[in-house]
Amino acid sequence: MATTLGPDISFYQDDPQTPQGVNFSKMRQNAYYVILRAGQNLWGDRDFKVNWRESKLAGLPRGSYWFYDSRADPKKQAEKWVSMFEDGDFGELPMFGDFEDAYNGPFKGWKNWYNFLERVKELIPSGKEIGVYTGYYYWRENTAGVGIPANSLNYFKQYPLWIANYGVSAPMIPQPWSTWTFWQYTDNGDGTLYGVESLNIDLNHFNGDVDEFNQRFKLTNTPPPPPPPPSNNYRVTVASLKVRSGAGLSFNQIGSVTLNEVVEKLDVSADGNWLNIRKKDDSLTGWSFAAYLQNIAGTPDTPPDDDDNGNTDPPPDDEDKDWYRVTASSLKIRTGPGLEFDSIGSFTFGILVEKIGASPNNEWLNVRNQDGTLTGWCFSEYLLSVHNPTPEPPPAVVVPEHNTKNWYRVNTSSLNIRETPNLNAKVIGSLAKNDVVPGLDESNSEWLLVQKLDGTTGWSSRTYLVKVSTASRPTSVTQTLFPGITYLRKDLTSPRPTVVHVIAIDLQTQKLEFLVTPSANNTDVLCTRTTSQFLEEFKLHVAINGGYFSYLDPSNDPAALCPNGGDPVRISDYAASRGKIYSPKKTVQPEVFLGQKNQVTFEKESGKVFNAVSGDRMVVKDGKVIKNLAAQDPNPRTAIGLSRNGRWLTLMVVDGRQTGYSEGVTFPELAQLLISYGVYTGANMDGGGSSAMVLRGFDGKARVLNSPIDAGKPGKERAVGNHLGLFIRP
């Protein structure tokens, strides 16, 4: 029998650090429908509402599924599922209860599945179809295998079956069904083909052809409207766009074009990133970045927003500023106030933007960033009014690159650093074997002026130093920070420029103490700090940024909640500090538990909870890259990993969004990097502009080891909700 194909997806198919999300228009070209994960346990899938809306706009028939979790009350799970739908839109396909849970919780088994499904039926409109998703062996073991009565088993026959069975020509069908409606036949589909960011994707067949599919779900097979034909007219979408003499940043600027100006395209660069344009009055011809030029169908030479007299709105008064903070991990910016307008860029979580206009219903705001490089429209729902922006924290000390110096490796077990080039001089520090340091002054034939990452600068004997690079930083640098704590840096050139920072911690080292940012009032509301501020405030030796958070509404009186500075934020997931669980939320995000004796576990606490911080997703399990990891676009990342024997803890930060220096990595690439450093279990944390790794300097001040990027500014740290730090007792 002919079948009709469609994927099922969840938040795992989207990278929260990229602007594009799932491309449902591309999915529509290759699929007849999509089934979207609504949630699990008592939490909703973080991408469900936007996926539900965007897939409908793309013309895809939609179904939903809820991963039944035996750790939560079935009726409450049903209520949470139904609450995920707005305006009574439950989709065109069935709502599927997903029964594959292996948590062995107090609500396991078919009796609780019955309660779950019955509660869903009570809450949804009469006639809305519910289905069952499961696997053949799982279903058999949890029904017939536990002695379910025949009448109880037959109860489930009323629900259409969505069966998971891979690597076969036809699926096995468990009792009480005699046929299947949907068949999930692979978890290894081509994610790129269906517009998602994971390399792999689940794919399904409907048991019938397109006509049978449409008849079964009362659909019409109306294709999406064709896009408007392209033209050679383009509109400028930023306040000011440079025009260069050639197609690249290395060419000189010869002029500029301004917001809403219409120009003519003459040519396009080989990579498609640059357009050769000409002004309408022939006064300027040159190359501009294509991302900020919007193709216009036809020849509408008049800029938008003109009044009846042809006058455009005057520019906003610079003294009358209305500021907003972005509350989404990545917020798309469009050329106009609606989803039908093209995306021209994005603003990242936490940055400040200025409101310069609004749609009549205030659903969309016209905003620009602080340096004026990007102006456009975005959803007001993801902008938090702050009016008076909080002053930026002072910049931390950044570890110098020393890219033009010779570098040396220590070839003895321990090498002193002295105040002056003399054996009788005061010892101010030391280096360990295989440490790599720059030579700052090589004028002395017997001594070399060196500098450690903590800023210690002094003289060491040349006898025990071997040159490893000439007039450049080596691609691999190792340095012992403290006993049992080693820093490693790797500069990669393939598949793109990438700089990786790693701190390897031997958990058997004595006198180590971990700290997750504590709560002053034992609630999930904290005040933001940069990672450097966190390290200095708690007198730590090493720190990285932690998990996700969201800003509070200003009506909560930020000055009262954070009298010492920072913005009040709510921690999004599970968190604990020194035995106090201040954010008890259990979500799908992985938790990292650090016990009082420095035992580290992922997703399951070992004994009493001491320190805990939540990440974004697991990327390494059992020494292998987890399947279906999203993100084909590289970004800055922060990750935590553990060796197979539980002895070595790896903290990793990868720099990104900095052309020519480091562009970042995808989730699969991050997983491979962790594995290359001996990680057996690893999780991605909050990344993007939040990624930071800092070290306590010789003077007690924080020194930033990586190159963070916030609001598009390399080297600028973002103030975040919580962190993970390490203290070494004297």
Are 411 and 483 contacting, i.e. CB atoms less than 8 angstroms apart? Answer: no
Per residue in 352-396, pLDDT (tens digit) is 788 888 888 778 899 988 777 788 998 887 777 765 555 566 778
pLDDT for res 681:
98
Residue 311 pLDDT more than 70? no
Residue 479 pLDDT more than 80? yes
Q: CA geometry: angle at 202 spanning 341 and 346, to 5°?
A: 25
Backbone angles phi, psi at 212, to 5 degrees: -65, -35
CB-hemisphere CA count at 13 Å for 674?
37
- Name the band, by pLDDT with cuts 50, 70 and 90, for residue 521: confident
- For domain 233-296, the question of CATH label 2.40.50.100 is answered with no
| Strand bridging mode 617-621 / 611-614 | unpaired
> Tell me, what amino acid is at 649?
L
The CATH homologous superfamily to which domain 402-472 belongs is SH3 Domains (2.30.30.40)
Q: Which helix (H) or strand (E) holds 117?
A: helix 110-123
pLDDT for res 390:
54
Residue 320 pLDDT more than 80? no
Residue 49 pLDDT more than 50? yes
Comparing CA positions, the residue from 135, 63, 124, 62 lying closest to residue 102 is 135
Are 208 and 216 contacting, i.e. CB atoms less than 8 angstroms apart? Answer: yes
Residue 12 pLDDT more than 50? yes
Provide the 3-class DSSP secondary structure of residue 642: strand
User: Which of the two residues, 300 and 324, has the higher pLDDT score?
Assistant: 324
pLDDT for res 298:
41
Q: Cβ of 207: how many Cβ atoms within 10 Å? A: 20
Residue with tokens 């006198």: 511
Residue 237 pLDDT more than 90? no
Q: CATH 2.30.30.40 in the chain, residues?
A: 233-296, 402-472
CATH of region 4-216, choose from 3.40.630.40, 3.20.20.80, 3.40.50.720, 3.90.78.10: 3.20.20.80
CA distance 89 to 94: 12
Q: Which helix (H) or strand (E) holds 504?
A: strand 498-506
pLDDT for res 631:
63
- Name the band, by pLDDT with cuts 50, 70 and 90, for residue 2: low
Are 631 and 330 contacting, i.e. CB atoms less than 8 angstroms apart? Answer: no
Tokens of 165: 């069975």
Kindly report which listed range (118-127, 279-288, 412-421, 422-431) carries the lowest average pLDDT score: 279-288
pLDDT for res 516:
97
Q: CATH 3.20.20.80 in the chain, residues?
A: 4-216
User: Which of the two residues, 653 and 349, has the higher pLDDT score?
Assistant: 653
Residue 127 pLDDT more than 80? yes
- Name the band, by pLDDT with cuts 50, 70 and 90, for residue 310: very low
The segment with the largest mean pLDDT, out of 25-29, 50-54, 117-121, 629-633, is 117-121
Are 45 and 38 contacting, i.e. CB atoms less than 8 angstroms apart? Answer: yes
Kindly report which listed range (270-279, 456-465, 497-506) carries the lowest average pLDDT score: 270-279
Give the global pTM: 0.70
User: Which of the two residues, 724 and 560, has the higher pLDDT score?
Assistant: 724
The helix, strand and coil proportions of the chain, stated in percent and rounded to the nearest 5, come to 15, 35, 50
Q: No. of H helices and E strands in the chain?
A: 10, 54
Residue 668 pLDDT more than 60? yes
Per residue in 74-110, pLDDT (tens digit) is 999 999 999 999 778 999 999 999 999 988 999 999 9
- Name the band, by pLDDT with cuts 50, 70 and 90, for residue 315: very low
> Tell me, what amino acid is at 222?
T
* Long-range contacts, stretch 174-177, CB < 8 angstroms, 24+ apart: 174/134, 174/136, 174/139, 174/140, 174/143, 175/140, 175/143, 175/144
CA distance 235 to 303: 8
Kindly report which listed range (34-38, 121-125, 233-237) carries the lowest average pLDDT score: 233-237
Provide the 3-class DSSP secondary structure of residue 35: strand
DSSP per-residue codes, 179-211: S-SEEEEEEEEETGGGT-SSSEEEEEEESS-HH
Residue 523 pLDDT more than 80? yes
Strand partners, 264: 233, 278
Residue 243 pLDDT more than 60? yes
Residue 557 pLDDT more than 50? yes
Angstrom distances, CA of residue 240 to CA of 94, 324, 388, 514:
49, 22, 26, 48
pLDDT for res 280:
87
Mean pLDDT of the chain: 88
Angstrom distances, CA of residue 434 to CA of 413, 431, 466, 488:
8, 9, 10, 11
Q: CA geometry: angle at 177 spanning 174 and 181, to 5°?
A: 100
Residue 410 pLDDT more than 90? yes
CB-hemisphere CA count at 13 Å for 672?
7
User: Which of the two residues, 632 and 544, has the higher pLDDT score?
Assistant: 544
Q: Cβ of 643: how many Cβ atoms within 10 Å? A: 19
pLDDT for res 725:
97
Per residue in 580-607, pLDDT (tens digit) is 999 999 888 899 999 999 999 999 887 8
Comparing CA positions, the residue from 114, 101, 95, 105 lying closest to residue 48 is 95
DSSP designation for 662: B
